[in-house]
Structure 1
């Protein structure tokens, strides 16, 4: 079982030995308060899931996915050596020094983009050590401690992620998506590059006001809503 962590006011922690997304969704369905952080600190990986109680339709509440990513970048940036670069994939992936290193998942009580969900959960998943003894075989995938972050303690990183995410929630509530968009764009991976998403392949031009992906192919520009990355935990 994971050790007990300390969280800022308005947040509470709950360790689990199982899947943090499933546990957080269960607790949300049972009516827990927003701000619950379910976490699992393993020997080789860490995971944590944050429960939200949105007051806006799902399409707008999905901004919590990039918001949690920005919170993570700020947290690791404060704990890791300055030369460690952190970037964010549109669909939730994390890039450390250019290589894939875990990422975020998101689930909600429903999938209707125009309805206010009862709850929304964003989960963080981060490998600490490489899965293989020969990481050179998979150069596009990495782990935290393989990227010069061996001194970053997993418990402190989860606590810092919670603090920085809470700070960004406050900034988002007062400044809306624009302030978040401005920060996220500077961390986004792959803008201007060829990518495939939702069965479509084209140039990733950026995002719209609701963080939908703008993907340009030979014929037109497609808008892929961020709600398409929702997971069904049922």
Structure 2
């Protein structure tokens, strides 16, 4: 198992991304600082922590905030593709709304999104920051990860030969692909692919799941109903534990 530190100086991301290392500090918080300082779109901040893939990207959307929030599902798809490219077979990354990433039925990470304070949902925000945290290994004080089967780490799932740097680099390439596809084709391909990654336990029940391709809102259709219930992505991103 590699700690990933030996490769930190050679991080390679495709244009137009500009990589900024936050050291061991929180990448999401650093990205917000960068955004407020007008660092510009495609600033990719990443942390050097050996136990965690911790990265965040600054966006400057040209659409209202409500629509731009679909960047959360876009990041989830990019990370799922990165893990599929690097990890062992049959260890697919699955999703739970609004931003949970799962491997082998257990939570391994999450996606977060924030915008400037007081930004209005129907207006174009000055910037948007979206980040991913992905657990590589459990802390040393966790002696038996099996006691928390609802949570896992990549190194517990057969990703031991993969470094955090490799994941960040692969993620950046897939994020470029999914961002371009979103902007060129609209949200429909994003919504459909996101639903294809939905955790099996969510697909197997009586409630049918959908994702609004314009906003990323979750749509739930109960048995016998003709009108889906709508779960607001803006509210969920503001309080993902709610």
The TM-score normalised by the length of structure 2 is 0.86
Does 2:227 match 1:225? no
Q: Does 1:145 align with 2:155?
A: yes
Distance 1:216 1:59 in 2: 22
Q: In 1, distance between residues paired with 2:153 and 2:208?
A: 26
In the TM superposition, 1:100-115 aligns within 5 A as 100-110=107-117, 111-115=119-123
Q: Distance in 1 between matches of 2:211 and 2:193?
A: 13
Q: How does 1:78-93 map to 2 (within 5 A)?
A: 78-93=85-100
C-alpha distance in 1 between matches for 2:27 and 2:176: 19
When residues 20 and 231 of structure 1 are mapped into structure 2, their CA distance, relative to the original with a 3 A threshold, is farther
Matched ranges for 1:79-228 at <5 A: 79-110=86-117, 111-131=119-139, 132-189=142-199, 190-192=201-203, 203=207, 205-209=209-213, 210-216=215-221, 221-228=228-235
User: CA offset at residue 203 of structure 1?
Assistant: 4.0
Cα distance per residue 1:163-193 (max 9 Å; x no partner): 1001111111111001111211111225446
Assess if the C-alpha contact under 8 Å between 2:83 and 2:92 holds in 1: no
Q: Name the stretch that deviates more: 206-215 or 160-169.
A: 206-215
Q: Is the 8 A contact 2:50 2:164 kept in 1?
A: no
Question: Any idea what SS the aligned residue of 2:172 has?
Answer: helix
Contact 1:85 1:98 in 2 (8 A): no
Structure 2: runs of 5+ lacking an equivalent? none
Which structure 1 segments of 5+ residues have no match? 195-201
User: 1:191 touches 1:206 (CA, 8 Å); kept in 2?
Assistant: no
Alpha-carbon shift at residue 25 of structure 1 (Å): 0.7
In 2, distance between residues paired with 1:31 and 1:228? Answer: 26
- How many residues were matched structurally? 224
Q: Secondary structure at the match of 1:230?
A: helix
Alignment partners' CA distance in 1, 2:88 and 2:12? 23
Q: Distance in 2 between matches of 1:12 and 1:78?
A: 23
Aligned to 1:198: none
Matched residue, 1:197: none
Question: Is the 8 Å Cα contact of residues 31 and 57 (structure 2) preserved in structure 1?
Answer: yes
Query: Which of the two has greater strand per residue?
Result: 1
TM-fit CA distance, 1:85: 1.6
